[in-house]
Structure 1
Amino acid sequence: MDEIEWQEDIPGGVRCVREVLGLDFASALDGTPVTVHMPGPPITDEALPLTQPTAILGNFELSTMAWGYRPPSSSAMVVVNRIGFTAAVPDSQIVGDEMNDWALIFLSWLDILTGQHLTPIAFRPPQQAENRTCLMTRGSDGTPLHAAVFRPFPPIYPLNQFDASKETIEHCCALAGTKEQVPLAWMLLRDARALHRVAQTRRAAIECGSAAEMAIKSLLKRRKVFPKNPRSTLGGWCRTGI
């Protein structure tokens, strides 16, 4: 058995309570036990970047914020950009074969339980106000000079969200380890929320309708109640009665 370690980036980062820093959580890849390592706290109380977990020895940092950061305005919340893993495995290819599914399940559950936009659903408009156009001005001699230009932020609807707690991270690691998928109705609702955030309201309404239909069908099937027409759409399922 080989002792291995690896790292997984979380695009956009996940907001967590500070208490999760430095903690380890149990999970699995296709039945093989793995340990998930959260970043460590900043070096000092004044520092912002999170530190690499002590259990992770390889250094792949491309920026000081690679593992995450503590926002200057908050002492109780941190943004985690990367998590680490260690495991004893017979073949390290298991990481290549299984990590895509693990990460998707992990982030999907986090998305549902916290309300954060963690899964790659819908276009995310840039939220950079200046220099997004890389604008230059030209001097009288033709020399290009950097210049800042303001562009208004594309519309985004702020939705309620919660910082991931120790219990939430632990639960999501366990669910990803057992390949427990988020129920389809909740996945569709997650997609609707992501679409609503970026002002794609037509698509969001369609996903909400699909989520309601799947939830109603699931509930009626569990109670062994079925419409007369098995090809009924949402309206037919609603009129079936519960």
Structure 2
Amino acid sequence: MTKIAGYYELESSFVTNAAIADLTLETLIEGHAVTIELPRLSATNPWELAPARSVPWTNGDWGMVTSLEGGRAASIVVQSIGFTFEVASDDPTERAREIVLQLDAWWAKTSSWLEIATGQILSKIGHTTVETIGEKTPVWSVNDDEDGHKPLTWPSVTTIDMGNRVRAVDKDNLAAALALVAIDKSPPLAWTLVRDARSLADAGQLRRAIVDLGSAAEIGVRTLLHHQLDLTVPTGIKERLTKRPPTLGQAAQILEQAGFGSLPASFRSDVVEIRNRVVHLAAASSTDDVSYEEYECALKSAVAVVELASPLPDGIVREWYERED
């Protein structure tokens, strides 16, 4: 067997606590055992992270320390992660390439679970401007003989947009996410839509966020409705409802009439009405905006329904901070 080591640069950094720096965890990628290695604290720079093992080259940063407590690192941002695995020695290059090609899909699933658990925005859903220090296009003065120059503006350095406070990824939810992905378990569609809505709202696209929240809520309501109909509604009525599915508002009303009393009291105004308003105004090419407060109400109600319909698996606990103005 040949041992392969490498590192993976994340599309979006995640925030975690310094206690899990240098942590190793096991997972499966396409059925192959892989050891994930988080970066360690740098021995030379208290604000930098370093690879867990020596590397022959590196094209990017491994991460940074974002806060200190008592002179020691408290929270960190991880930009790259290391990994190792073993392959048959007869053709290690080809087998290693097969595994490496699966890393993007593997991380997309893993980060989705982490987003749902922590509220961090790791998926690039919607456009948001990258924050930079300096100028994207640097310029400098040049002497007549072209042998000297004086910078007029400085090249840009991309910075990490921390946004509002977020829950740190910890060992438990990271291990849970890796375990779920190891058995090829992705988040349910309703939860993925909630994730997308939060990312869209973070990019300022509130109307699109409302549409996704409405879709997530509709999946949740229909899931609950089918379960409730199995318990309380005669087969003939259930078949008619299945052939001609009700709208979101109608489904919520039928669910309540069927004896399910756990929907949020403001579900209709928070989700149904604003979702219909956004969809109808979009069809009419209206530019009417959605307020952030309306989005927050829709998010709260939609998540309450999705949690009832699709409870999160063990180890994935949703913990989001409220928005800070």
Match of 1:69 in 2: 64
Match of 1:27 in 2: 27
- The Cα shift of 1:158 comes to 4.6
> CA separation in 2, counterparts of 1:73 and 1:147?
35
SS at match of 2:66: coil
- The Cα shift of 1:85 comes to 1.1
| 1:219 is aligned to 2:224 | yes
Q: Which has the higher contact order (CA 8 A, sep 6+)?
A: 1
Match of 1:153 in 2: none
- The Cα shift of 1:136 comes to 6.8
> CA separation in 2, counterparts of 1:115 and 1:33?
28
Paired AA for residue 62 in structure 1: N
1:20-99 alignment runs, 5 A limit: 20-44=20-44, 47-54=46-53, 57-63=54-60, 66-71=61-66, 75-90=73-88, 91-99=95-103
Query: Which of 240, 251, 254 is the matching residue for 1:237?
Result: 251
> CA separation in 1, counterparts of 2:141 and 2:227?
66
Distance change (3 Å), C-alpha of 1:69 and 1:95: same
Distance change (3 Å), C-alpha of 1:96 and 1:130: closer
**Cα displacement string for residues 98-121 of structure 1 (whole angstroms, at most 9, x for unaligned residues):** 222211101111111111111121
- The Cα shift of 1:191 comes to 0.5
| 1:184 is aligned to 2:189 | yes
Distance change (3 Å), C-alpha of 1:61 and 1:93: closer
Hey, which of these two has a bigger chunk of helix by percent?
A: 2
SS at match of 1:87: strand
Q: How many residues align?
A: 231
Query: Which of 125, 130, 136 is the matching residue for 1:126?
Result: 130
Paired AA for residue 189 in structure 2: L
Paired AA for residue 82 in structure 1: S
Match of 2:206 in 1: 201
**Cα displacement string for residues 34-85 of structure 1 (whole angstroms, at most 9, x for unaligned residues):** 11111111215x521111113xx4333235xx21111256631001111111
Unaligned runs of 5+ in 1: 150-155
SS at match of 1:175: helix
- The Cα shift of 1:221 comes to 3.1
Unaligned runs of 5+ in 2: 89-94, 155-160, 231-237, 261-325
**Cα displacement string for residues 162-199 of structure 1 (whole angstroms, at most 9, x for unaligned residues):** 11111111111112222110111110011100010111
Paired AA for residue 65 in structure 2: R
TM-score, length-scaled by structure 2 = 0.63
> CA separation in 2, counterparts of 1:4 and 1:41?
23
Q: Which has the larger radius of gyration?
A: 2
- The Cα shift of 1:12 comes to 3.0
> CA separation in 2, counterparts of 1:47 and 1:158?
23
SS at match of 2:112: helix
Match of 1:107 in 2: 111
Whether contact under 8 Å (2:38, 2:81) holds in the other structure is: yes
SS at match of 1:105: helix
Percent sequence identity over aligned pairs: 25
**Cα displacement string for residues 107-155 of structure 1 (whole angstroms, at most 9, x for unaligned residues):** 111111111111121112122364246467899xxx9965569xxxxxx
Distance change (3 Å), C-alpha of 1:49 and 1:217: same
> CA separation in 2, counterparts of 1:157 and 1:240?
43
Whether contact under 8 Å (2:67, 2:76) holds in the other structure is: no
Whether contact under 8 Å (1:131, 1:147) holds in the other structure is: no
Paired AA for residue 190 in structure 2: A
Whether contact under 8 Å (2:67, 2:75) holds in the other structure is: no
> CA separation in 1, counterparts of 2:142 and 2:207?
43
SS at match of 2:135: coil
Whether contact under 8 Å (1:157, 1:196) holds in the other structure is: no
Distance change (3 Å), C-alpha of 1:60 and 1:219: farther
SS at match of 2:125: coil
User: Which stretch shows the higher mean deviation, 129-138 or 172-181?
Assistant: 129-138
> CA separation in 2, counterparts of 1:136 and 1:220?
66
